[in-house]
Amino acid sequence: MAVAGIDEARLRKAFLEEAEELCQKLGDSLLALETDRGNTDVVNEVFRLTHSLKSESALMGFTALSELAHRMEDVLGSVREGRLVLEKPVMDGIFAGSDLIAEMMAAISKGGSDADFDTTAILQELFLAAGRGGGSASETAAAPTAGTPAASEMELGEFEKRQLTEARDRGEALYKLTVSVDPAESMKFPRAYLVFFNLELVSNVVKVVPPMKGEPEEDARYATTTLLVTSAGGDEGLRAAAAVDQIAGLRIDRCDYDGYLASARSGSAAWLKAHPERAGMPPGVAAGMPPGVAAGMPPGVAAGAAGGMLQAAAAVEKTTIRVDTRKLDDLWSLIAELVLHKSHIARLSDDLGHGADVHEVREELVESFDSLDKISSGMQQVMMDTRMIPISVIFSKFPRLVRDLSRKLGKPVELILSGEETEIDRSLVEALSDPLTHIIRNSLDHGIEFPEERVRRGKSEKGRVSVSARRQGGNIVIELADDGRGMDSEQIRRKAIEMGISGAAHFNEAQLLELVFLPGFSTKEVVTDLSGRGVGMDVVANRIRGELKGDVVLGTQPGGGTRVTLLFPLTLTIVNALLVRGDSQLYAIPLTDVDSTAKLLATEIRGEEGSEYSSWMDDAIPVFSLGALFGKGRHKTEEYFATVLRHGDSKAFLVVDELIEERDIVIKPVDDLLNTQRLFSGVSVLEDGRLVFILDTSFIRRERV
């Protein structure tokens, strides 16, 4: 299987012997690690064991096992380098991984294979534990589509030009080498670096593109490397130096010094003459815009100037990210403050030891704590900010999309974008892209009418689609609207009754529009009658409500157009929430969904059981209670504790048994099985092990009863 010429059985036997032993040792080491997490020897041991398991299983072709071991090795690697702390979630992930490896080994030893095991969950868990953002992982970033580097970077600076003139004076010849690494080679930078290193021994390397500084760089960029060197020895020596294994292509061109020595301005013409294949480059790139400048640049400029660059940036972002250095400065100041307070507290503790007044010390402690609180919030904010990128990365695709579609369909459409600078968490970009694209397609396919029909209806010939994004508290709101046909809710009602959806006869408009998100409703047959407007909306709803823990709402006007509103939280994992209690169960409400807390008197509640309401700031809003939602009903007293929830434009009271406190909680996804009523957006576990269900306040719009 893996290595030709060696007896299969012997190979397997040898592998099993060693791998099982490694596995055993891994289990033992992990147990040791659990009780002594600071022990660097054990950490190194575990790292080495996972590394060895990875190598061996890869050789034997057990890719699932190898990948799992590799991921674990990464996590341990981060721990070794001090970038990751061995807290509970990380340890849990490693244990789970080790268990799974043991199972795989057991299967393999019985003649089975590791391919039967599903590793997606554990890989994801380990990836998250290692502190990498969401999304599936591929360790090696996909190479940007343009294989050759922006060759305009061959423009030389003054120092480099001086090197050239001196070399010319010495009588050396100028060569341009283009080296391509074998595509099958997994480590492109080191290969290129090896060539560079060898060349430096026999020639004078003036410039390398992409640049090499002696530290590992983003690998994929070095698939092809161009070097400008001078040498007195003829190209034999150069060829020998570049004769490194796994180099697929080597091209040596003898060059003219003049082409490179001309000044920047006039040099472009000469340069372009020397490189006719580059003549078609867009102005922004040819001007030699250094790659690092993209960070911190206003989004409009970045998107416009180098269309493909943001895409490339997005593809790169899986392993490295570009960060505005001002954010790093902010972080640095916060850390400085943190250190100050740390010393302060140490001093206080000293003082106590020397008999200082307890009350005075306590006051200072409280002050320090407040500062620490602010500092940690500040740090959290900075970290969040570094994860945030403007939504223009997604929006930038839309103008092209609309133009192509409108051309193809023969419907002139104007696209209006706003709020592109609104920032969203990087991890959401992938999840959002498809649904938004889909909704826009829908608008053009089915929403916007053909120009003749529009004119007949007294509308402008050109259709209009607008996409806007804005922040609302801790949520992002994206609105996509068109001024097309709209949907007829009565027609939806008719369809619903036909499909046997009970109660459809009495649904209000909001409820009818909600039906469009049902899988049954999104089918082609149903949808041709509804002008196809609902196609695929069930998938969109799933993505937004499920993965993004948000909500999507439809608004429409027959003949006037349709608006889709998406709402989802800025960040998924840690949330500042209000903890409340209903009977013996704890619930958390994200603070962004809490308008305020209040006391309700029984006399202030109107209406019948199941549809009660009360007044709040001149509005009558519904009254829900934890008791009714999750228990046996609201038990009657004279006055109630309640919070005023808000979701979008809606508000409602939620009666609780106890308002506990505001705190940060870590959200974990809640399985669908536990969430059949869709009342939860997640679940959390407190330090003492108690379960907390996080409420999804969208129910105040959806549900009555």
- 542: number of CA atoms within 13 Å, CB side? 9
- 593: number of CA atoms within 13 Å, CB side? 29
For another protein, the closer CB: 89 or 211: 89
Angle between helices 358-387 and 325-353 (to 10 degrees): 160
Shortest Å distance, C-beta 286 to another protein = 31
For another protein, the closer CB: 39 or 52: 52
Shortest Å distance, C-beta 121 to another protein = 4
For another protein, the closer CB: 6 or 510: 6
For another protein, the closer CB: 238 or 436: 238
Shortest Å distance, C-beta 70 to another protein = 8
Angle of CA points 145, 151, 152, to nearest 5° = 125
Q: CA-CA distance, 102 to 97, in Å (whole number)? A: 9
Shortest Å distance, C-beta 393 to another protein = 27
Residue found by looking up tokens 């009754």 in the block: 497
Q: CA-CA distance, 193 to 204, in Å (whole number)? A: 15
Shortest Å distance, C-beta 144 to another protein = 19
Shortest Å distance, C-beta 438 to another protein = 23
Shortest Å distance, C-beta 163 to another protein = 22
Residue found by looking up tokens 């492109």 in the block: 188
Given a contact cutoff of 8 angstroms between Cβ atoms, the answer to whether 704 and 652 are in contact is no
For another protein, the closer CB: 51 or 441: 51
Q: Is 402 exposed, middle or buried (0-12, 13-18, 19+ CB in 10 A)?
A: buried
Residue 403, amino acid = R
How far out from the chain centre does Cα 577 lie?
23
Q: CA-CA distance, 122 to 55, in Å (whole number)? A: 19
How far out from the chain centre does Cα 126 lie?
16
For another protein, the closer CB: 364 or 547: 547
Shortest Å distance, C-beta 671 to another protein = 5
**CB atoms < 10 A from the CB of 164, how many?**
23
For another protein, the closer CB: 177 or 375: 177
User: Residue 593 contacts by C-beta under 8 Å, 6 or more apart in sequence?
Assistant: 645, 646, 647, 695, 697
Given a contact cutoff of 8 angstroms between Cβ atoms, the answer to whether 392 and 300 are in contact is yes
Given a contact cutoff of 8 angstroms between Cβ atoms, the answer to whether 684 and 692 are in contact is yes
* DSSP code, position 544: I
Residue 174, amino acid = L
Given a contact cutoff of 8 angstroms between Cβ atoms, the answer to whether 407 and 449 are in contact is no
Given a contact cutoff of 8 angstroms between Cβ atoms, the answer to whether 146 and 308 are in contact is yes
For another protein, the closer CB: 181 or 444: 181
- List for the chain the helix, strand, coil content (%; round to 5): 50, 20, 30
For another protein, the closer CB: 187 or 598: 187
Residue found by looking up tokens 């943190």 in the block: 338
Q: CA-CA distance, 311 to 318, in Å (whole number)? A: 12
The Cα-based distances of 504 to 494, 501, 515 in angstroms read 8, 6, 9
Angle of CA points 56, 59, 65, to nearest 5° = 60
- 374: number of CA atoms within 13 Å, CB side? 9
Given a contact cutoff of 8 angstroms between Cβ atoms, the answer to whether 681 and 575 are in contact is no
Residue found by looking up tokens 């059985």 in the block: 9
Shortest Å distance, C-beta 535 to another protein = 21
For another protein, the closer CB: 54 or 646: 54
Shortest Å distance, C-beta 547 to another protein = 13
Shortest Å distance, C-beta 41 to another protein = 11
For another protein, the closer CB: 2 or 272: 2
Shortest Å distance, C-beta 158 to another protein = 28
Q: CA-CA distance, 611 to 466, in Å (whole number)? A: 37
Shortest Å distance, C-beta 277 to another protein = 31
Kindly state the tokens that stand for 341. 């307070």
Shortest Å distance, C-beta 590 to another protein = 18
Check whether the bond before 210 is cis (ω within 30° of 0).
yes
The Cα-based distances of 261 to 200, 257, 270 in angstroms read 22, 6, 10
Smallest CA-to-CA distance from 479 within 466, 498, 495, 491 is with 466
For another protein, the closer CB: 51 or 344: 51
Q: CA-CA distance, 304 to 324, in Å (whole number)? A: 19
Kindly state the tokens that stand for 584. 């013996």
Residue 324, amino acid = D
Shortest Å distance, C-beta 479 to another protein = 31
For another protein, the closer CB: 35 or 603: 35
For another protein, the closer CB: 110 or 636: 110
For another protein, the closer CB: 478 or 683: 683
For another protein, the closer CB: 72 or 413: 72
Kindly state the tokens that stand for 510. 């909001």
Shortest Å distance, C-beta 290 to another protein = 23
For another protein, the closer CB: 158 or 672: 672
Shortest Å distance, C-beta 597 to another protein = 21
